[in-house]
Amino acid sequence: MDNRPSRHLPVRIRSSRCEPPGQRRLPKREIGGARVRIGLLTEGGYPYLSGEAGLWCDRLVRGLEQHEFDLYALSRSEREEAEGWVPLPPQVGRVRTAPLWETVDDGIVHGRRARRRFAECYGELATALCTAGPGGASGGPEGEPAGQSALEADRFASALYGLAELARDEGGLPTALRSETAVRALERACRAPGAHRAAREARVPDLLTVTARLERALRPLSLDWYEDDDLGSVDLCHATSGGTAALPGLLARHFCDVPLLVTEYGVRLRTHYLTEPDSSPAIRSLLAAFHGRLATETYRRAAVITPGNTHARRWQERCGADRAKLRTVHPGMDAAPFAEAGESPDCADPQTLVWVGRVEPAKDLVSLLHAFAEIRRAEPGARLRIVGAPTGPEGAAYLGHCKALAAQLFPDEADGPHAVGRNPVSFEETGGPELPSRADAYASGALVVLSSVVEGFPAGLVEAMFCGRATVSTDVGAVVEAIGGTGLVVPPRNPRALAEACVALLRDPERRNRLGAAARARALELFTVEQNIAAFHSIYLEILSRTPARRVVLDDTGEPLPFGVPAEAHVPGRWSDPTARVAARGGPGTARSGPGWATEAEPVRATTSVAASEGAAR
């Protein structure tokens, strides 16, 4: 029997730390959630200049200046790291980063006992990945029996936490994850009876690729972030995307019992399916199983999940997210540039249609041009302004094609015999003297048209709504969700329907104005930065209100505050009337007396967290 105390290694993976001088504040909490310390987890995102979701995170951090943010960032590439950070506001307390791109080697070679432990855990993980049945990552509602899928999810979770504990106790996990032991365990799991068909066909290069990818994805397990003075000291973890970014949050929840909030604007699993078209079936199947299981585990452990739109929400539900935890928080957009256009709806030319966006084949401008030909038949004075730059060589070719088509369909027209002719369709780009910004582009038309066949969240449409313009759009992506009832929606690839809707609105200025005003009101209510920040603020407080105290409370001099946590907090189970709110002083202790539905929802959690709080208090 091994009674030795576990060896904690001070630093396992190089992780930089930055604390602005003199700005380290003692965590100080007041009832009512005056200040919350939030661990913001990002992957290839926020503090880096080239980060994807940078703008959104920046607005969030700057918007909630009464709170304190600790950034835990995983960087995706060397280039990204070299480009540096965005300027950080003072409420960012510390920044810790770790690279996901580097081959890490901490030089620790496992002993026999650790090797056996690793082989067991990794074998379990591999088995959980290989036995994912068809559709299996999800364990959909009508798929395999619920018990079976829960069992698989548990197996994955225990393997994951087993590996994390191994990394915490012994270190050396990156080396082990690349070792022959791992490859062998994966091969055994793939060849075992009951393995998925695609996994059974895995060849040696596939096994190596999957091992390497898993090593990269599991790198957060080796980080030294899960100590009491790091992620253990934050009040809640906010993962800004699913997948690898949520992994530190999962481990913080496992080791330190920090509640986890997951925000997903695009579902990681879906991205994985779309970005892996060329790999072999075995690689795709195993990695999809990994991402699916990780998503399921994340959704299971998260306190609250905030999808960015209904589409993400559907995927999350499909991956096993509990509906009670889902709160849709729409992405916030800056309404200020569009305010002027939105408040003066009359400056528009009543005969002009505007299309704004990036020119690419998915936008289906050809269909728009055909629709416009029909519109011209009904309304000869109509004009169409296509505003946007092409993206990439494909977009440029498409733009050329569209210009040729427009020249073919609509010959130049002149007002009289001595004037220069003009084409009713104009292709323009913003930034020139005529159209300084997109807001001007929207403002110049009476009607904004969207003809895409594929669309995610239609940011351009929301901008048009901010401008108070009536819109006609195709029914793709999250268009209906964004537009609600404040614009016309037609099926995609249907120029006639598009034309009919446009003509109907062109002929009815009153209805156009009504729809535009409704659209502006809707956008201001749902899609502003302010609502986004307010939503997250209230979600933070909601999560905190359901989280028990976990730490020794310190007074102003840094000494432990006696009776900071009431004794009742250590009693497992429900100790007071669920509806009663105990107005005890001492801050976090009151959290246990939160609303009854919270304690009812997670009776098990309360006891485990008390155990953890005792552990921390010792």
Partner 1 sequence: MGVAVGEARDGRQTPAPSAARRSAADPVKGLLHRHRELCERAVDPLEIAAGLEAHGVTDRTAARFRHRDVFSLAEEMYARAPRDRDTHAPASPEEPPAPRPGGPRTAGIVLALLPGVLCAAAVAGLRLTDGRPRLIAAAVGILAVTLALGAALRRGPLSAATRTTSTWTCWLVGYALLGDGLLRTAVGGGPDGLPNGTTDGPWPVSLAPVLALALSFVPAAGCAHLFAAGARRKLTSSRGLADFSASVRPLLLGTFALYTGALAGLLALTGAVLGEPAALAQGLSLGALLLLARLLTVHGHAHAPTLVLAAAATAEAVALATLFAGRLPGCGFLAAPVEALVTACGPAGVPTVACGIGALTLLVHACRRLTRASAHASTGRTR
**Cα distance between residue 461 and residue 468, in whole Å:** 11
- Tell me if 486 contacts partner 1 by CB under 8 A: yes
Residues 135-194 that bind partner 1 (CB under 8 A): 135-138, 140, 142, 178-180, 182-184, 187, 191
Closer to partner 1 by Cβ: residue 288 or 591: 288
Burial (CB count <10 Å: 0-12, 13-18, 19+), residue 380: exposed
Binding positions for partner 1, 387-446, rule CB under 8 A = none
Among 134, 431, 436, 560, interactor with partner 1 by CB under 8 A = 134
Contacting partner 1 (CB under 8 A), which of 123, 292, 320, 445? 292
Residues in 540-569 at the binding interface with partner 1, rule: CB under 8 A: none
Which residues within the stretch 73-92 sit at the binding site for partner 1 (CB under 8 A)? 76-79
Q: How far is the CB of 452 from partner 1 (least distance, A)?
A: 8
Are the C-beta atoms of 616 and 252 separated by less than 8 Å?
A: no
Please report, as residue ranges, which positions from 577 to 616 form the binding site for partner 1 (by CB under 8 A): none
Helix axes 281-301, 204-217, angle to 10 degrees: 30
The residue (of 339 and 480) whose beta carbon lies closer to partner 1 is 480
Residue 103 in the binding site for partner 1 (CB under 8 A): yes
- Strand extents, DSSP E, 357-412: 383-387
Q: Out of 105, 154, 413, 434, point to the residue binding partner 1 (CB under 8 A).
A: 105
Which of 484, 586, 595, 596 forms a contact with partner 1 (CB under 8 A)?
Answer: 484
55, 366, 396, 453: residue in contact with partner 1 (rule CB under 8 A):
453
H or E element that contains 4? none
User: Using the 8-state DSSP alphabet, how is residue 348 labeled?
Assistant: S
Say how far apart CA 403 and CA 423 lie, in whole Å: 11
Q: Decide whether 91 or 181 has the Cβ nearer to partner 1.
A: 181
Q: Does 205 bind partner 1 (CB under 8 A)?
A: yes
Q: Which stretch binds partner 1 (CB under 8 A): 121-129, 265-273, 301-309, 545-553?
A: 265-273
Give the integer Cα–Cα distance in Å for 21 and 247: 29
472 class by beta-carbon count within 10 Å (0-12 exposed, 13-18 middle, 19+ buried): buried
Of the candidates 108, 150, 378, 518, which one interacts with partner 1 according to CB under 8 A? 518
Q: What's the closest the beta carbon of residue 364 comes to partner 1, in angstroms?
A: 9
- Nearest approach, Cβ of residue 285 and partner 1 (Å): 4
Q: Is 11 in the site for partner 1 (CB under 8 A)?
A: no
Give the 3-state secondary structure percentages of the chain, helix then strand then coil, rounded to 5.
Answer: 50, 15, 40
Q: How far is the CB of 320 from partner 1 (least distance, A)?
A: 12
Q: Please identify, using beta-carbon distances, which residue of 158 and 494 lies nearer to partner 1.
A: 494
Stretch that binds partner 1, among 53-61, 248-256, 405-413, 471-479 (CB under 8 A): 471-479
Residue among 123 and 492 whose Cβ is closer to partner 1? 492
Look at residues 442, 502, 489 and name the one whose alpha carbon lies nearest to residue 466: 442
Cβ-in-10-Å burial (0-12, 13-18, 19+) of 32 comes to exposed
Report, in Å, the least distance between residue 500 CB and partner 1.
Answer: 8
Q: Rounded to 10 degrees, what is the CA torsion of 263, 28, 92, 41? A: -30
User: Distance (Å, rounded) from C-alpha 67 to C-alpha 237?
Assistant: 13
User: Any idea of the CA torsion for 472, 477, 480, 483, to the nearest 10 degrees?
Assistant: -60
Specify the residue, 240 or 471, whose C-beta has the smaller distance to partner 1.
471
CA distances, 269 to each of 66, 230, 242, 246, 289 (Å): 34, 28, 8, 13, 9
Residue 465 touches partner 1, criterion: CB under 8 A = no
Give the C-alpha separation, 64 to 562, whole Å: 31
Segment interacting with partner 1 (CB under 8 A) among 203-211, 234-242, 420-428, 583-591:
203-211
Least Cβ distance, residue 367 to partner 1 (angstroms): 12
Give SS3 for 492. coil
Residue 210: partners with Cβ closer than 8 Å, 6 or more residues away:
186, 202, 282, 283, 286, 287
Structure-token pair, residue 103: 């081959």
- Our finding on whether 220 is near partner 1 (CB under 8 A) is no
Total residues belonging to the chain: 618
Q: Are 250 and 226 in contact (CB under 8 A)?
A: no
Query: Using CB under 8 A, which of 27, 89, 162, 281 touches partner 1?
Result: 281
The site map against partner 1 for 315-344 (x = CB under 8 A) is: ---x--------------------------
**Residue of 102, 144, 374, 429 interacting with partner 1 (CB under 8 A):** 102
> By CB under 8 A, is residue 208 in contact with partner 1?
yes
| Cα distances (Å, whole numbers) of residue 101 to 18, 123, 392 | 21, 25, 27
Which residue among 116, 203, 401, 507 contacts partner 1 (CB under 8 A)?
A: 203
